Structures are given as C-alpha cells and as structure tokens.
Amino acid sequence: MSTNIGIYYSEAFGSRYLPKEKWWRENTDSGIKLNFGLQDGDPDKGYDTVLDSSLPNALCVGIPGSGKAPLVNQMVASLVTRYSPTALSLVMVDFKDAEFCAFADKTTHQSRIPHASFIAGTKDGSVSIPLLNGLMDEMSRRLALFVAEDVQGIESYNKKMRKAKTSQKCLPRILVVLDEFQVMFEDTSISDIVLQKLQNLLAVSASCGCHLFLSSQSWKGVLPADIMKQLPVRIVLRCSEDVSISVLGSPVAALLKPKYGYVYTNTEAGTSQATTRVWRTPFIPDEEFFDTEKRKEVIPDGSLCILDALQRMATEQGVADRKAPFIGRL
C-alpha cells in the first residue's frame, strides 16, 4: 500500500475494466464475479471474487466511516454494467434506511436499476420475513424446474437450456444484498423465526443460484456457527482487532488507515490466510453514479450518469426493466 491518494471509479477501474462497450457482455452461468477495485492497489491487477456453488455467500464488516457504502456502490456498479438483467437479479435491502434510496426514482418510487427485483430502505427488521418467504418461493420454483429437467442445479439447467437453443429459459443468478443485516434479529419476538427462515434459505440457495451478501458496520457476532460456515467470502474494512480476527482470521484490518478505500478479502471463512487479498476500492462520486442533474460530463451515449445509461441500454436492447417499487421513504 504505497500511496494514500484516493482513486476514482471511472479513471482507475471503469475505463480499464468495464468501459461502455463491454457492458452486459458476460453471463453468470459459472457464478457472479464480485469486484472490489484493484488488487493490492495495482492498476494492472483487476481481480474478481466469484460467488458460485462452492463459495456461495459473503459477509462484509467495517466500522462507520470505513468506506462500506462506497464499496457497495463500487460492487453494484461493476455488477450492473458487467451483467444484463437477464443474467443477474438484485434484491437489495438497507436496514439503516440511509443508502439505497439513491437507487430509486423519487417521482415514480421505482428502482433505477433494471436488475432490481426488490429494493427497500427500512429500519423495520420484520420486512425480512416476507422477503425470506418470497426468496424461498423462488427457490421452490427453481427446484421444481430442476427436477422436471433432471438436472442438479442452476449451472446444469442453464447449460441444458442453451444446448437446446432455448436460452430465453435460462435463470438469472440472484444476489441478495442485506445492508446492516443485524437489524433483522433485533426484535426478539421474531428473531428466532427470521433465523430459521434464513437457515432454510441457505440450505438450498447455492444450487439454485441465489447468493447472499450480508454487510454490517456494527458486527457483534449475531450469527450462529452453522450460518457463518456458509459465508466463506469475507470482506473486511477498517475495524477493531477483535472483529478483524473473528471475521478475517487475522488482525490486519485493524491496521488500515481511514479514508483511502482499502479492504481485505478472504475466501476461506478466515480459516487460512492463503487467500487473503488487499484491495483499493475506487470512489464513485454521486453525480457519476446517481445524479443526472449535477453531472456535467456525459457517458458516450449521451447519458448523464451510470444509472441513466443502464436504463437507456435496457430500452435499446428490449430488455425488461423490472421497475421494482422502492419500499421505504424517499
């Protein structure tokens, strides 16, 4: 980590790894490629962490001010530009009710991301019950499809659909982003129910192509060991030494300096440091990602920001925009 200068998404990452001409060119048959920026801070080392059946889910922690919101924005930006809505479906809930409202249109109260099938900003943890019920319904539907086609999971199902030249039947992978997920368990009258529903979902979600990204800025070890084992991908921003050790298996994240976008990842649930990597997460200014009014520069197609460009692209390519209603205040 040789420099303490912040880096910007469009300059350090977008123009090199995901310029406009490369948008929506990849499928998710082999997994969802998460990118948190530049490995070791090196502009020549873009690197992906793949969520698939063997590494199905992720846990992200970091104290307030550590850069969790910019990291999630970077991740979402790379996902929605890399994959089309037919390849990736996003379910996004912000239990802090502070961040995800930027992804919604304040006039229509609908998501501005074509990929979003559900998006909410709420401090009400009880929202998690119908959410988990809906996800389980989708898992049951997919499992029935797999039985009917005599396949074992989403990879073999989509491969069979492509071979039969019925790729329109391919299933998108689902990424469920639950920010400040610990709120789901704060109401003790429903916490056991929520936990059981989460365990039921995790029992089948990996083979069905559904992956969880749980994030928290106040990690207190609220999850039992059996669930922690199913979150092998660990993303750790600046935090206390105790939290770094419990999540990453090493105290290194406690030594990160503030403000400059560094984050550690590990893909072995912190049981070994062989896969530990450090990244520099580029910062995306709000006007570049969200704001069509403040942005002065334009993306080559005439769009004023990334979300605007995505909506234009969906219209031009005839891709269905899910227009998910935003649940919460705007």
Over range 26-40, report the average pLDDT. Answer: 87
- Region 259-283 average pLDDT: 89
Nearest to 212 by CA among 232, 188, 238: 232
pLDDT at residue 286, as a whole number:
81
Greater model confidence, 275 or 15: 275
**What's the average model confidence in pLDDT over 303-318?**
86
Mean pLDDT value of segment 288-313: 75
Supply the pLDDT for residue 297: 62
Q: Which of 211, 164, 199 is nearest to 28 (CA)?
A: 211
| Token digits of residue 33 | 């490629």
Instruction: Select the more confidently predicted residue: 92 or 328.
Output: 92
The backbone region for 150, taken as left when phi is positive above 0, alpha when psi lies in -120 to 50, beta otherwise, is: left
The SS3 assignment for 209 reads coil
User: Residues with Cβ < 8 Å from 23, sequence gap 6 or more?
Assistant: 81, 82, 313
Q: Say if residue 105 is exposed, middle or buried (CB neighbours under 10 Å; 0-12, 13-18, 19+).
A: middle
- Give 115-148 pLDDT, tens digit per residue: 999 999 999 999 999 999 999 999 999 999 999 9
The H-or-E segment that residue 286 falls in is: helix 286-289
Instruction: Return d(Cα 115, Cα 118) in angstroms, integer.
Output: 9
9-328: what fold?
A: Rossmann fold (3.40.50)
Amino acid at 144: A
pLDDT in tens, 53-103: 999 999 999 999 898 888 898 899 889 999 999 999 999 999 988 788 888
Distance CA(328)–CA(302), nearest Å, equals: 31
Q: For residue 227, what pLDDT is reported?
A: 94
Q: How confident is the model at residue 171 (pLDDT cuts 50, 70, 90)?
A: very high
For the residues 159-177, what does the mean pLDDT come to? 95
Which has more pLDDT, 9 or 307?
307
- Asked if residue 131 lies in contact with residue 193, where contact means CB atoms within 8 angstroms, the answer is no
Identify the pLDDT of residue 106: 84
Those residues with Cβ within 8 angstroms of residue 262's Cβ, 6 or more apart along the chain or in another chain: 1, 41, 237, 238, 256, 278, 279, 280, 281
C-beta of residue 172 within 8 angstroms of C-beta of residue 157: no
Averaged pLDDT score across all residues of the chain: 89
